[in-house]
Structure 1
Amino acid sequence: MPKSKRDKKISLTQTRKKGLDFKQNLVEEIRKCIDLYARVFVFSSQHIKTNKLKEIRNEWSHSRFFLGKNKVMALALGRTPEEEIQENLHKVSQRLVGQCGLLFTNASKDEVMEYFENRRYPVQPHAGDVASETVELKKGLLPQFSHAIEPHLRKLGMPTRLERGVPELMQDFIVCEEGRQLIPAQASILKLLGKEMAYFQLQMEWCWNRLDGKFECLQDVNGKKNEDEKDEELKEEEEDDEEEE
């Protein structure tokens, strides 16, 4: 039987997977920035909101942001004292864990901290976030939802039915409780309700200075200071004691 002309595989996209070339270019760009900018900041990011991130990039067009590909960024900076391009850059690499990025800039530390501490945007929560308030829906009609979404509400655990084409809640329903972690169904319901309980913010946590190679902690990460910071403080205290003697 002849093969049907309709039986053809058609590619619906021309997008190519990011491969070795992309990674090599990223390494080269980061290494160029090390010589061009005075400071490197490591920041953490949660609930990235693309339009707000674009606004920040535009306002900081004099600087460079790099997000994602932590292992590649660490490789560019140097993962060990032997590999590092400049003094203490391996310490920057060690902090590239989780959802984070790098900011290369000539702006002062105070300028950076002041700007980013004031850029906090409310967003809808995801599963795993902690509820900032208790949300309870009372028994009755839910006119904010269309009839087509009623089956989906039931799948999310809400006791609903259609009443003359309008979803109706058959009993009071607690969506979430303050201080408790959200499960996927709760996060989906809050999204449908338009509730914003989380925030998008680039939180600056570490800073490296090219002029003197100093690497410092900017936040009290997990309630503890970095061990390197403690060692440096103890060393400074010992030097002060020796000078006093």
Structure 2
Amino acid sequence: MRGNLFIRPVAIALLLIHVLLRITFSQPSVFIDLILFNAIGILAALIALTAPIVTDQKVCLSIGYAQLIWSFGSIFSTWNSFFEMQLPEVLSDLCYSLFYPLIFFGIVRSFTQRVKIGALELLDTVIVAVGFTSVLTAFFLKPAMLTFAGSAFSVFLSILYPVGDVVILAMALVYLLLTPISKRTILLFTGLLSFSLSDLFFLWLSINSRYQFGSITDDGWLLGLLLISLSLSYSGGD
């Protein structure tokens, strides 16, 4: 647990340093985009995996390993942007695809274990979440479907990423509506919001051929992962 107290300020400081470096140096670099960027993601995973006992251990493991796997996917993907020795693209795709079921499990368990939900309240919330999800899915998937090509796996990923992000957005909304306002609620909601919106923005830029590798908007992913991990250090009543 003491390690967790040390890792948290280090991860926050490194994220601030990364943002400053990205603002100062516009060109991608191995240190900023491969080493520092992914080190922050790994530290976020370690924060989750070593979270205090106030959090369900299964939540910590699920979210922690989701972030660790995502970070390895980022490492594989970023490596191919800098070096001639290319790693199989399926490695990063597999890591990114495994992130979603793990983070879904962690999010759902993090509040269903602690919050008593009435049937009508749950129904109202589900209706809102489903409606919100449907609108966003229609908006983001329409341009994505126009670009479908390649193997069945690549088509599957083309659907998984935006839908997964929209589901995370819906879960964040459900969590905010069903959970009393606390440090944990605010951190987790903001983290989920930051990660999902950053990923959706990345997908939109990529579809329109406007994404630039090493953009400062990529830090939205790191901010999201870090806030999600930090939320696990607080109980629902804090």
TM range (shorter): under 0.3
Greater helix proportion = 2
TM-score if structure 1 supplies the norm length? 0.23
Please say which structure displays the higher CA radius of gyration: 1
Greater strand proportion = 1
